[in-house]
Structure 1
Amino acid sequence: MGGRGVTTIRVDDRESGVRLLTLDRPPANALDEQLLGDLDAVLAAAADDDRVRAVVLTGAGAFFSAGFDLSSPRRDEATARRLRALYRDSHLRLLALPKPTVAMVAGHAIAGGLVLALACDYRLGLEGDYRIGLNEVAIGASYPKVAFEIVRLRLPHARASELLLGAALYPASQAIRLGIADELLSADRLEETVLRRAARLGAFPREAYAHAKGALIAEAVARVEHETADEAARAAAVWTAPESRAARAAQRE
């Protein structure tokens, strides 16, 4: 169901055509080539399967996702380009999936992990003790074009600026104020409510939902698809700047 070779995402079909995708790459569901490739594969499968009416994305354990895996060995330029392309393609696929998507955030959603949640149509979170935020600037990391467009699409400018430029990590209780979560729920209500929300959205005529969703995201998708080589080069250069490398080295210590 998730496709041959998928090892970091669990795929479970629930009632009413809801497919639950669980990121499962311990300890933090950090994004690497395998997870991003798995995500692209399971989303493509969900898009093509007429039995799937809606998709729920969540994370196993204490993390929704910690974002890019900073513990991975340093990549050469060719490998880094492939990773950026895989990130772009998988996130565009999630953003533009022609079916309802709901993020169930029950653990830390940091940096690229939070972007992944924002790529979903709706986000419901747990009332709990975990952190959320976009801290890339603090650790010398750049945002891929698709990540910027997802953040700009989902959040008001003031909140996007607070998250992107302030680069702080917030308690989950701030998720509604920041515009990240639509609702925060207790542990005994979260999954039930998320699945019910997804089933309700999935019951709408699929062509109507897909058309309305496509129209809402069309401008953001177009900006990603027309990213210039200069834009991509500037983003890549952030990673190799001396201060950026020093910040990430300190983060790993």
Structure 2
Amino acid sequence: MLAARTILNLFRGTQISLFQTYATNTKLVEITKDNTDIAIISMAHPPVNSLNKELLNTLNMSLMDVQKEKYRGIILTSSLPNVFSAGLDIKEMYNRTEKQLTEYWQTLQDTWLTLYNLKIPVAAAINGACPAGGCLLAMSCEYRVLVEGKHTIGLNETRLGIIAPEWFRSLYVDMIGYRRAEIALLKGTLFHPTEALEIGLVDELASDKANAIKKCKDYIESFKLIPRKGRQSTKMELRKRNSLWLKENRAMDLNQFVTFSQLPEVQAGLKSYIESLKKK
């Protein structure tokens, strides 16, 4: 979750569409494909792809629909020029009723479980800023390609006075190791592309979005000769621990979020952050 001006200053140039696009029920997500039967799902919620309830719902439905249509793989990216996703929408947490907070967090849980447990190959073409919840989406994919530039990636929740939940933290530890994750989480560290590659947070760097999409396709194509059933079963086993944790602890996780979000000091911090955005 980056400050609006920081992210908006990254918007330079225009995106070139390389694929035939067909619309979803809303304009929050765009689904494109070419003749390889690989679907590109692009978040399209300007200015920064903040993950509000509507975007999460649409993304969840899109992921499930694409898998049902038996595509060979999915590339998750953004239609915005230089931002992947700024993370969870702060407005979904500020001055909300318990019912609204509950519905929002349950939507996030559902969307993550869908993305993390997709049976088909899924890769992230990270074309720009990717903090907090954006980083969660990227980490939930099997493969991550980050476009080079001045943008950053990481879990920076502590900078906003909030905490990254257990299932966010577990993925982070899996990616970059416990000690590095511990320090990064405490400091809310955001990593530049070269740093992210060095620590294993991303798998490759790309010169631009088109190059990132190509590398994601190469990853998906690499499974052509791998029997589908064996690949799917192996993926599900590898992801069972993290997935099972959330399934078994959904109520506790939800209660922690709702309780923490309603703390006066947390609400005061969120209010200050939102007001600071309005001034920029």
> Normalization by structure 1: what TM-score?
0.90
Rounded to whole Å, the distance in 2 between the matches of 1:226 and 1:169 is: 30
Q: Which of these residues, 258, 261, 266, is aligned with residue 244 of structure 1? A: 266
Shift of 1:172: 2.5
Does residue 227 in structure 1 map to residue 246 in structure 2? no
Letter aligned with residue 21 of structure 1: I
Closer, same or farther: CA 17–59 of 1 in aligned 2, 3 Å: same
Shift of 1:133: 1.9
Rounded to whole Å, the distance in 1 between the matches of 2:214 and 2:23 is: 27
SS in 1 for 2:50: coil
Aligned to 1:44: 64
Rounded to whole Å, the distance in 1 between the matches of 2:224 and 2:95 is: 42
Aligned to 1:60: 79
Does residue 21 in structure 1 map to residue 24 in structure 2? no
Letter aligned with residue 65 of structure 2: A
CA contact (8 A) 2:24 2:31 kept: no
Closer, same or farther: CA 251–205 of 1 in aligned 2, 3 Å: same
CA contact (8 A) 1:139 1:247 kept: yes
Aligned to 2:11: none
Closer, same or farther: CA 33–2 of 1 in aligned 2, 3 Å: farther
Aligned to 2:238: 216
Which deviates more, 206-215 or 243-252? 243-252
Does residue 168 in structure 1 map to residue 189 in structure 2? yes
Aligned to 1:148: 169
Which deviates more, 182-191 or 59-68? 182-191
SS in 1 for 2:88: coil
- List aligned pairs for 1:99-248, cutoff 5 A: 99-187=120-208, 189-201=211-223, 204-227=226-249, 229-248=251-270
Shift of 1:114: 0.5
CA contact (8 A) 2:75 2:123 kept: yes
CA RMSD of aligned residues (A): 2.2
SS in 1 for 2:198: coil
CA contact (8 A) 1:140 1:239 kept: no
Closer, same or farther: CA 3–223 of 1 in aligned 2, 3 Å: farther
CA contact (8 A) 1:108 1:130 kept: yes
Percent sequence identity over matched residues? 24
Closer, same or farther: CA 181–85 of 1 in aligned 2, 3 Å: same
> Normalization by structure 2: what TM-score?
0.82
Which deviates more, 239-248 or 30-39? 239-248
Aligned to 1:12: 32
Rounded to whole Å, the distance in 2 between the matches of 1:44 and 1:179 is: 28
List per-residue Cα deviations over 1:27-65 (Å, max 9, x = no partner): 001101111001110111122112x01110011222100
Shift of 1:151: 2.9
Shift of 1:116: 0.5
Shift of 1:79: 1.4
Structure 1 segments unaligned to the other structure (5+ residues) = none
Structure 2 segments unaligned to the other structure (5+ residues) = 1-20
- List aligned pairs for 1:64-103, cutoff 5 A: 64-72=84-92, 74-103=95-124
Shift of 1:158: 1.9
Letter aligned with residue 221 of structure 1: S
List per-residue Cα deviations over 1:95-119 (Å, max 9, x = no partner): 0100111011110001101001000
Shift of 1:223: 0.8
Which deviates more, 241-250 or 10-19? 241-250
List per-residue Cα deviations over 1:155-200 (Å, max 9, x = no partner): 3112321332211223233111332111112126322222222222
Structure 1 ranges of 4+ moved more than 4 A: 1-4
Q: How many residues of Structure 1 are paired with residues of Structure 2 in the alignment?
A: 252
List per-residue Cα deviations over 1:45-89 (Å, max 9, x = no partner): 122112x01110011222100011124563211111111111001
